[in-house]
Structure 1
């Protein structure tokens, strides 16, 4: 476990570095990392779980207080893990920044814990494409019920994923207010992914080879992230796709209706007064 944690916690750490530091052979290092990775990854169904009804209500209360979204239970976003060039289909893994990456779709709750992850698509894949081909996409109607997730403009606006209005230069004051409040709530997933990569800096540039091994390692890091967060204080209020796609990006009229209803219910932003 010490070998695995040192490897996961240091950016660009190689097996040779581990071999020298722990005075063990390269083959032993490889076996240790692989075995520990597979074991921790196998715990994901028990550790990375969709919230219970009680936890949904806690998360909804958090987002209500934070940004006014009364039925939000989490946030969704994608991130890229830089990897060494694969032996085949290298061009598929080049992301928009020109890096060779693997994508991870993550959903977090109010406590910055992962409640669902999906890893494995090459870096050139758009977040919307990854989402619509992930296992969670067809299960959102039963998983969310009356609740929904908050996402950015890369995702289609549906009944279960609320996204900002696209700024075409003609947004109303209410729609601009909606976008600002959604952004302030959706920042939870940005924080969660940032904490994950700071804890396990190998995720900035993972030196493992093979997509299967990489996926299990990323999943193992997410499992450890949730376990580490177990000791943190749970959220306290005092502290503070059912329809088919109607267009090419997957947005639905029901999703737009839900977004419009939320937009109308949000209180307007208070204008800051200038000091004379």
Structure 2
């Protein structure tokens, strides 16, 4: 089953998606391809977590922006098939589609309902930021992974995610870090996503 949020704005269970960069040593080939927006050599870990801050889907190894990583992940290919009456929560780095709900872009003209929606969504999807923070605090090598070879690095990151899921949730303090940027998407999917978001927005209590 796909990582999901039930299609009720009052649901207590939800899942969130985001990406984080893992800084690595310069690879032997195509070094420039691994330079991220901060000027570091890195690869991207995209992950989905549940309300218990446990990973239920990960995709690691790509070196590009979240838009490209997301569209090439197994999660994306299965999203429409498996996520019928459920939503996944993402930030503005992701597209707003029929099954992935993101905030309204603040252009200075948001309505009160849209601002309220953004606040509710932010409070719901903050779990993934916490999850990445906990992961990197537990396994500090993920701040700068010095292993050689992309395959070995990816195996190490996956192992850290598995061990994170086994560990107790409250065994350490963590620090949140701000991450990625913005992307574009297929117009038809954006249109359906906007309709879904508008429906939820109107149902939320002020």
Query: Hey, what's the Cα distance between the residues in 2 that align with 1:214 and 1:189?
Result: 22
Per-residue CA distance 1:190-238 (angstroms, 9 max, x = gap): 0011111111111010110111000000000001111114899xxxxxx
Q: 1:199 to 1:231 in 2, by over 3 A?
A: closer
Per-residue CA distance 1:131-179 (angstroms, 9 max, x = gap): 0111110101233221111000010101111000111121111111111
Q: What is the Cα deviation at residue 71 of structure 1? A: 8.5
Query: Hey, what's the Cα distance between the residues in 2 that align with 1:181 and 1:231?
Result: 24
1:261 corresponding residue in structure 2: 199
1:196 corresponding residue in structure 2: 135
- SS of equivalent residue, structure 1 residue 146: coil
RMSD: 2.4
Per-residue CA distance 1:95-122 (angstroms, 9 max, x = gap): 1011111100000011111010000111
User: Which of 45, 48, 57 is the matching residue for 1:107?
Assistant: 48
TM-score when normalising by structure 1? 0.65
Structure exhibiting the larger radius of gyration computed from Cα positions: 1
2:177 corresponding residue in structure 1: none
* Aligned 8 A contact 1:72 1:149 in 2: no
User: Which of 144, 147, 150 is the matching residue for 2:83?
Assistant: 144
User: Which of 20, 23, 26 is the matching residue for 1:85?
Assistant: 26
Alignment of 1:40-59 (within 5 A): none
Query: Hey, what's the Cα distance between the residues in 2 that align with 1:246 and 1:210?
Result: 34
User: Which of 202, 206, 209 is the matching residue for 2:145?
Assistant: 206
Q: 1:217 to 1:160 in 2, by over 3 A?
A: same
Query: Hey, what's the Cα distance between the residues in 2 that align with 1:193 and 1:224?
Result: 13
Query: Hey, what's the Cα distance between the residues in 2 that align with 1:145 and 1:113?
Result: 23
Return 5+ residue gaps in structure 2 as ranges: 172-184
Return 5+ residue gaps in structure 1 as ranges: 1-48, 233-244, 269-276
User: How many pairs were matched up?
Assistant: 193
User: Which of 62, 82, 106 is the matching residue for 1:121?
Assistant: 62
* Aligned 8 A contact 1:71 1:146 in 2: no
Q: 1:70 to 1:261 in 2, by over 3 A?
A: farther
* Aligned 8 A contact 2:45 2:58 in 1: yes
TM-score when normalising by structure 2? 0.86
